[in-house]
Amino acid sequence: MEFLDKIYKRWNTLDPRVRLVVEQLVQKIPLSKAVRNVPFLQKMVDEEFAKLLQKVDQPNPHLEDIPSFLELPNEGLASTLVLTSLAKLALSEQQRWSDGYASGAVYHGDPDHIQLLNKVYSLFSQTNPLHTDLWPSITKFEAEIVAMTAKMLGSEWTDDSICGSVSSGGTESILLAMKVYRDWAREERGIENPEMIVPITAHAAFDKASQFLGMRKVMVPVDDEYQASVVAIRKAVNKNTAVIVASAPSFPHGIIDPIPDLASLASERGINLHVDACIGGFVLPWLRDEYAFPPFDFALKGVTSISVDTHKFGYASKGSSVILYRGKNLRHYQYFVTTDWPGGLYASPTLAGSRSGALIAQCWAAMVAMGQEGYRSAALKIADTARSIKEGISHIPHLRVLGQPLFIIAFASDTLDIFSIMGAMTEKGWSLNGLHRPDCVHICITLRHTQAGVAERFLRDLEDAVFQVEKNPQRQAGMAPIYGMASSIPARGLVGELLKRYLDSLYKN
């Protein structure tokens, strides 16, 4: 974006204190407000964004594969036509993830496992746990999912006070936990404006919770190993602190925060500690004996809640997650009840009213079909594959692995544009995650990557991608222009506006 290059070409020459002030200002001023009364600036912004989005905004590849409907058809389509069209789409999108080209996304993917989940869904497709009188089976499934997950995350813990609910995904689990701590702090501590202390590597869902709940988020840095800084968190705790957040592991770099130290701090100060184990909760418990890492779960008395996604390494279908609390008193702050509605008495445990009982049944089926040995075997395969990939990356010139991850491997380059490398990998069929602060790329290892030859193919392609970028440093592909621009612009409002326009482009017919 040329006009931004002009604005920021001297950015790095400014005094750091000046840059900090400018960054704080531009983050608080929405782009739309800044340019609303400046037509020529609005036009310039529109034109530049259009150019940038054109590089990544490609026509939907399925526009010709299936009829498009901008209004309801006069007559419903025959079920055979609907199923044939959808089967064609599904098959066309299957190869990349089934062959292990995607970071995360599909965590199991074995045909027999998929067939089991599909059959379970068909059996319970009409169920809704809101109507417990009609479908008490779903209540049974949910209670047992919570119990099995709590036991898995309790180490030697035998108390039955750990409780929770099944939610629609990690974001909802995190939203629910932060709502609990906001309301707990107001009710039990008289804190008018409760705060959460959140490491910068914590999931973006905590930003969403902050915005949705009107709860201030106090950001703290990580250390050189990308772990949350206990020193910084201790300094950040104040009279308004309701909860400290930790990750096991963090989504960006796959690093487990120093949870024992944070649990001690939380206990000492009489506040809560939420562990976001959305991505690691069904992997870490099965690696305790083979890999040395500190406890992260309810074995630590200072841990008061844990979020863990059953639809990731729990191998259930999207979307299901579990939110667990130390004690029913905390869970009560999660519930919604109303007693004066003309529609009758109404109570729901999570954000949703009606929920898919079929997804809950699928989750239960996945867990009992896997069993302890199934989860242990899968976790060990994943960790072994990740170790091979991590070692392979460390031997590729220009690349370095960030920290000491177990199964999410982030890598960066001090000499080449890492997003151009990601773009070259995209051209080879890989779907990887671009990250900022620092600029890097990660791959989340799943069972798809443990297939024969996948790790070797990844390392060969990555080495070739580095070679391509080394030969032609200006070459960019895929999302590289977006990520490169976003990492270099201090005006985060501009980046946010770009992301909104990118989301708009996804709704085009």
Over range 182-202, report the average pLDDT: 96
Q: What is the distance between the alpha carbons of residues 216 and 472, in angstroms, rounded to a whole number?
A: 45
Lowest mean pLDDT: which of 89-93, 382-386, 423-427?
Answer: 89-93
**Is pLDDT at 1 greater than 80 in this prediction?**
no
Q: pLDDT by residue (tens digit) across 39-66? A: 655 666 666 666 666 655 555 665 566 7
Tell me what pLDDT residue 21 has. 46
Tell me what pLDDT residue 69 has. 86
**Is pLDDT at 106 greater than 70 in this prediction?**
yes
Residue 174 sits at the vertex; the CA angle it makes with 487 and 209, to the nearest 5 degrees, is 60
- What domains appear along the chain, each with residue ranges and CATH number? 2-56+486-506 (no CATH), 123-367 (3.40.640.10)
Phi, psi of 308 (to 5 degrees): -145, 130
Tell me what pLDDT residue 33 has. 56
The two tokens of residue 280 are 């690691």
Q: The pTM is what?
A: 0.87
Confidence band, pLDDT 50/70/90 cuts, at residue 160: low
Tell me what pLDDT residue 330 has. 96
Q: What is the distance between the alpha carbons of residues 394 and 385, in angstroms, rounded to a whole number?
A: 14
Percent above pLDDT 70 for the chain: 81
The two tokens of residue 32 are 């739309």
The two tokens of residue 106 are 């599909």
The three-state secondary structure class of 155 is: coil
Confidence band, pLDDT 50/70/90 cuts, at residue 137: very high
Pairing of β 305-308 and β 272-276? parallel
Q: What is the distance between the alpha carbons of residues 245 and 174, in angstroms, rounded to a whole number?
A: 10
Does residue 438 have a cis bond before it (omega within 30 degrees)?
Answer: yes
Distance of CA 253 to the CA centre of its chain: 12
Spell out where 400-454 has E strands: 400-401, 408-412, 433-435, 440-444
Q: What is the distance between the alpha carbons of residues 463 and 392, in angstroms, rounded to a whole number?
A: 9
Q: What is the distance between the alpha carbons of residues 359 and 125, in angstroms, rounded to a whole number?
A: 8
Q: What is the distance between the alpha carbons of residues 38 and 247, in angstroms, rounded to a whole number?
A: 43
Longest dimension (CA), the chain: 71
Pairing of β 408-412 and β 440-444? antiparallel
Percent above pLDDT 90 for the chain: 71
Identify the DSSP state of 344.
Answer: -
Over range 224-229, report the average pLDDT: 95
Residue 332 sits at the vertex; the CA angle it makes with 326 and 334, to the nearest 5 degrees, is 95
Confidence band, pLDDT 50/70/90 cuts, at residue 322: very high
252 exposure class (CB count in 10 Å sphere: 0-12, 13-18, 19+): buried
The two tokens of residue 175 are 């939203």
**Is pLDDT at 171 greater than 60 in this prediction?**
yes
Identify the DSSP state of 347.
Answer: E
Q: Which long-range contacts (CB under 8 A, 24 or more apart) does 286-290 make?
A: 286/372, 286/375, 286/376, 286/378, 286/379, 286/380, 287/379, 287/380, 287/383, 287/406, 290/380, 290/383
Tell me what pLDDT residue 436 has. 86
Tell me what pLDDT residue 357 has. 95
Does residue 343 have a cis bond before it (omega within 30 degrees)?
Answer: no
Handedness of CA 16, 22, 24, 30 (dihedral sign): negative
Does residue 340 contact residue 334 with C-beta atoms inside 8 Å? no
**Is pLDDT at 415 greater than 60 in this prediction?**
yes
Identify the DSSP state of 125.
Answer: T
Tell me what pLDDT residue 18 has. 47
Does residue 323 contact residue 168 with C-beta atoms inside 8 Å? no
Over range 278-289, report the average pLDDT: 95
Residues 6+ apart with CB under 8 A from 301: 263, 267
Q: What is the distance between the alpha carbons of residues 74 and 171, in angstroms, rounded to a whole number?
A: 38
Spell out where 152-257 has E strands: 162-167, 195-199, 216-220, 241-247
Write down the H helix ranges in 55-110. 79-98
Q: Residue type for 165, please?
A: S
Phi, psi of 119 (to 5 degrees): -65, -40
Residues 6+ apart with CB under 8 A from 477: 420, 423, 424, 426, 427
Write down the H helix ranges in 124-229. 136-152, 170-189, 205-213
- Map tokens 């036991």 to a residue: 151
User: How does the average pLDDT of the chain come out, rounded?
Assistant: 87
- Map tokens 């400290």 to a residue: 244
**Is pLDDT at 501 greater than 90 in this prediction?**
no
Lowest mean pLDDT: which of 1-10, 60-69, 452-461, 490-499?
Answer: 1-10
